[in-house]
Amino acid sequence: MNPPSLSSTGLVGEHLCVRYHPRQPFVLDDVSLHIPPGKITAFIGPNGSGKSTLLKTLARQLPPEKGRVLLDGQNITALTPRKLAQRLGILFQENIAPADLTVEGLAYHGRYPHRRLFEALTPEDRNAVEEALRLAGITPLRQRKLSHLSSGQKQLAWIAMLLAQEPHYLFLDEPTTFLDLSHQFDVMDCLCRLNRQLGKTLVLVVHDLNLAARYADHILALRDGRIAAAGSPADVLTLDTLRRVFDVETRIVCDEEHHLRFCMPVGKTSSTSEAAS
Amino acid sequence: MATPKTPMRPMFWLIAGSLCIVFAAAFAQVAAGSYEMTYGQALASLTDPKVWSQPAALLRLLFGERLAEVCGLRETEPLATMTLIVWNVRLPRVLVGLMVGINLACAGSIFQAITRNELASPYLLGVSSGAGLAILLVLVVYPVLGPHLPLIAMLGGGAAFLLVYFIAWHHGTSPVRLVLAGVIVAAIAGSLQTAIFFLAKDINIMQNALAWTTGSLTGAGWEQVRMIAPWTVICAVLSLSGARHLDVLLLGDPTARALGMPVERARFLLAVTAIMASASSVAVAGLVGFVGLIVPHVVRNLVGSAHHRLLLGCMFAGPALLVSADAGARLAFRPVQVPVGIVTGVLGGVFFLYLMRRRREIGKL
């Protein structure tokens, strides 16, 4: 795997405006942000706040109407699709694949941006795939067909594809949403290792605030296409911010033994304030 | 994608079985017919030393008399009647069938991948009908353009494909919309084809055109071999080199784009390849249905959906179906010859029904 490049200055979005149709309102409304390199950044926010749209815009999957995205100081529109894919990989929430594709076959697809038109598989390709399967912890499943895997194993197989791509920036859209608790830990621990051991920069869209609190170094809270708060978990996960972003009253509990913060929603802001009065 | 340890067994049997069928059907085609000869005589004619020992004689057959004159090939000793029949009438028909089989099967696999739709085929996407309409126009209205049939068929097929895509497009295309649009365009092109019959002044042209719309190899000779061969080679090379891209397209447009594929451009180039393949076979054999739909299905069930294997399998199974169907069409109801398109239509239709009943999830890839 590539070591994090020294010139890595992170990902910067400047004044991004995105909408899906010229007659519709903006989904992202003049959003500027900085994704610090070598950290785990989490996007949180209610449904429709623009989290996924922001992720896709930063990965050049959606063209912004205004604004630009700088990858280590370089405008991403100046990169060819191949060059961009070598540096930035994105995994979507829902993925499709032929039923008979194997885990290993999927991982080899991750080598797509590294291969020329007629180029056969090189030893680097094979090494990258081996390493990706190992990091995702699914080497024993390599010959299994995707359609025969549990959803957690399937998600790890897709992560292996993303790793075989060897990008420095890894974007994941709700990587744990459909998984049970144990598989959520499998996936998140795997992602965490990638960050701590290999210095990868991760950007995750997450629904579960406690997952964000536990794993993220940096949190961006979105509301109605704008950034409502940004900073460390301790800065963002406050009663006031959560009320502003989600309209929800919460209790914040700190577990001193594991150095963990938990957000426990207790009710909608309006209903609880009525109850109080 | 190449998974290094995939079993090669089904692939081996597919190729071996297809080759056996092709050779058996081809030999029956060469030996049988209204000019009677024994199998021994057929073999003797095929291996006639007068053909094989004189490069000029062989090239005359392959290039045709006119090009041979241009190239300055010398006259050769005259060949026996039997040899002439085998070499000038029966063998080229087998070769044309072979290449039409390759083209249609490969085009079907490509269309199925780029539309992510198991029901896609040159026929169902309107490409064959569009190519057919263009060719009928040429045959009946502007016969002078005859030598350029493959190119004209490609223009017609390409236009029909774009029209189908345009009709089906609504925030992307769904398999069902695409097939419905294909059926609509095919129906319109079919009506226009029938309308053109009424413009034909000569009954011969009309009969020719009719045989052609049902898909027939009757009268296919070296001229047709020369017409389709370059396109078969080009399309075979292009589709095999596109195998990896087809595999990645099956992961969906967003993932393909995230992996660095210029999706629209890749899909366009692959569609052009498939249109070239199907239109050039329409140009020499007319509208042979179901081959492009059935062969990829059968091959996929045997060797899986990875395209380097799927396409390679199609290049053997396609000719096996087409050459044997043509042998049946020519020899089963002697002395009457049935167009091969009728045989593939009936076989393919029945097989497709069976497939639909057996596999409920058909229609999604």
pLDDT tens per residue, range B154-200: 899 999 988 988 888 776 666 677 778 888 998 999 899 888 877 77
Query: Hunting for tokens 């004159």 — which residue is that?
Result: B69
pLDDT confidence bin for B299, thresholds 50/70/90: very high
Residue B118's closest chain A neighbor by CA?
A98
- Number of domains into which chain A is organized: 2
Q: What is the ipTM of this complex?
A: 0.88
User: Please, which residues have CB within 8 angstroms of residue A152's CB and are 6 or more apart in sequence?
Assistant: A179, A180, A182, A183, A186, A187
For testing contact with chain B, the best of A52, A61, A112, A172 (most B CBs within 10 A): A112
Say if residues B224 and B284 touch (Cβ distance below 8 Å).
Answer: yes
Contact yes or no for A61 and B2 at CB 8 A: no
Residue A26 domain-assigned (yes or no)? yes
Strands A40-44 and A218-223: parallel
Average pLDDT, chain B: 84
Tokens read off for B278: 């199907």
> Which one of A152, A167, A182 terminates a domain?
A167
At residue A36, the pLDDT reads 92
At residue B361, the pLDDT reads 56
DSSP chain A: -PPPPTT---EEEEEEEE-SSTTSPPSEEEEEEEE-TTSEEEEE-STTSSHHHHHHHHTTSS--SEEEEEETTEEGGGS-HHHHHHHEEEE-SS----TT-BHHHHHHHTTGGGS-TTPPPPHHHHHHHHHHHHHHT-GGGTTSBGGGS-HHHHHHHHHHHHHHT--SEEEEESTTTT--HHHHHHHHHHHHHHHHHH--EEEEE-S-HHHHHHH-SEEEEEETTEEEEEE-HHHHSSHHHHHHHHSEEEEEEEETTTTEEEEEEEEEHHHHHHHH-
Nearest chain A Cα distance for residue B332, angstroms: 39
Contact yes or no for B1 and A61 at CB 8 A: no
pLDDT confidence bin for A3, thresholds 50/70/90: very low
CA A213, CA A211: separation in Å to the nearest integer? 5
Question: Which of A81, A92, A102 has the CB atom closest to B262's CB atom?
Answer: A81
Distance of CA B185 to the CA centre of its chain: 20
Flag whether pLDDT at B332 surpasses 90: no
**What element of type H or E holds B208?**
helix B203-213
Over its C-alpha atoms, chain A yields an Rg (Å, rounded) of 19
Do A127 and A183 belong together in one domain?
no
Do A154 and A175 belong together in one domain?
no
Flag whether pLDDT at A51 surpasses 60: yes
Q: Among the ranges A209-223, B32-46, B204-218, which has the highest mean pLDDT value? A: A209-223
Flag whether pLDDT at B102 surpasses 80: yes
Do A141 and A253 belong together in one domain?
no
Partners of A91 in the beta sheet?
A: A172
Residue type, A143: Q
Do A264 and A204 belong together in one domain?
yes
At residue B85, the pLDDT reads 84
Residue A86 domain-assigned (yes or no)? no
Average pLDDT, chain A: 88
User: Please, which residues have CB within 8 angstroms of residue A78's CB and are 6 or more apart in sequence?
Assistant: none
- Give the pLDDT mean for B327-352: 86
Do A226 and A131 belong together in one domain?
no
Nearest chain A Cα distance for residue B296, angstroms: 14
Determine the number of helices (DSSP H) and then strands (DSSP E) in chain B. 18, 0
Do A181 and A261 belong together in one domain?
yes
Check which CATH number belongs to the domain holding A221 and give it. Answer: 3.40.50.300
Q: Is B2 on the interface with A (CB under 8 A)?
A: yes
Tokens read off for B273: 């390849």
Do A142 and A58 belong together in one domain?
no
At residue A56, the pLDDT reads 94
pLDDT confidence bin for A275, thresholds 50/70/90: very low
Tokens read off for B131: 């190519």
CA B257, CA A55: separation in Å to the nearest integer? 14
Residue B116's closest chain A neighbor by CA?
A98
Query: Hunting for tokens 């353009």 — which residue is that?
Result: B145
- In CATH terms, the superfamily for domain B96-358 is ABC transporter involved in vitamin B12 uptake, BtuC (1.10.3470.10)
Using a CB-CB cut-off of 8 Å, the residues of chain A touching B260 are 80-86, 112-113
- Give the pLDDT mean for B56-62: 75
User: Please, which residues have CB within 8 angstroms of residue A13's CB and are 6 or more apart in sequence?
Assistant: A31, A32, A33, A34, A54, A57, A58, A67, A68, A69, A70
Nearest chain B Cα distance for residue A43, angstroms: 20
Strands A260-268 and A248-255: antiparallel
Say if residues B138 and B272 touch (Cβ distance below 8 Å).
Answer: no
At residue A78, the pLDDT reads 92
Nearest chain A Cα distance for residue B312, angstroms: 16
Residue B365's closest chain A neighbor by CA?
A98
- Give the pLDDT mean for B208-231: 84
Residue type, B7: P
Residue B241's closest chain A neighbor by CA?
A118
Do A147 and A188 belong together in one domain?
no
Flag whether pLDDT at B359 surpasses 60: yes
Q: At what angle do helices B263-285 and B91-114 cross, to 10 degrees?
A: 150
Flag whether pLDDT at A256 surpasses 80: no
- Give the pLDDT mean for A151-175: 93
Residue A213 domain-assigned (yes or no)? yes
Do A154 and A180 belong together in one domain?
no
At residue A276, the pLDDT reads 47
* Overall residue count recorded for chain A in this entry: 277
Tokens read off for B354: 């069976």
> Which one of A151, A167, A183 terminates a domain?
A167
Residues 244-263 of B with CB under 8 A from A: 244, 247-248, 250-252, 254-255, 257-262
Do A172 and A271 belong together in one domain?
yes
Residues 305-324 of B with CB under 8 A from A: 305-306
Contact yes or no for A112 and B244 at CB 8 A: yes
pLDDT tens per residue, range A180-202: 888 898 899 999 999 999 999 99
Using a CB-CB cut-off of 8 Å, the residues of chain B touching A90 are 258
For testing contact with chain B, the best of A82, A109, A154, A170 (most B CBs within 10 A): A109
Contact yes or no for B261 and A98 at CB 8 A: no
Q: Which of A164-173, A252-261, B132-141, B275-284 has the lowest mean pLDDT?
A: A252-261
pLDDT tens per residue, range B232-263: 999 999 999 999 999 999 998 899 999 999 88
Query: Hunting for tokens 């912004």 — which residue is that?
Result: A64
Flag whether pLDDT at A128 surpasses 70: yes
pLDDT confidence bin for B58, thresholds 50/70/90: confident
Flag whether pLDDT at B54 surpasses 70: yes
Residue A85's closest chain B neighbor by CA?
B260
Question: Which of B241, B251, B258 has the CB atom closest to A59's CB atom?
Answer: B258
Contact yes or no for A109 and B254 at CB 8 A: no
> Which one of A146, A167, A188 terminates a domain?
A167
Residue A161's closest chain B neighbor by CA?
B259
Nearest chain B Cα distance for residue A223, angstroms: 25
Do A264 and A236 belong together in one domain?
yes
Do A129 and A173 belong together in one domain?
no
Q: Is A61 on the interface with B (CB under 8 A)?
A: yes
Q: Collapsing DSSP states into helix, strand and coil, what is residue B316?
A: helix
At residue B1, the pLDDT reads 43
pLDDT tens per residue, range B257-293: 999 998 888 888 998 899 999 999 988 888 888 899 8
Q: Rounded to a whole number, what is the distance in angstroms from the first to the last CA of chain A?
A: 58
Q: Is A95 on the interface with B (CB under 8 A)?
A: yes
Residue A174 domain-assigned (yes or no)? yes
Residue B5's closest chain A neighbor by CA?
A143
Using a CB-CB cut-off of 8 Å, the residues of chain B touching A96 are 250-252, 255
Question: Which of A81, A86, A95 has the CB atom closest to B257's CB atom?
Answer: A81
pLDDT confidence bin for B204, thresholds 50/70/90: confident
CA B260, CA A243: separation in Å to the nearest integer? 40
Domain range for A254: 11-79+168-276
- Give the pLDDT mean for A16-43: 91
For chain A, give the percent of residues with pLDDT over 90. 57
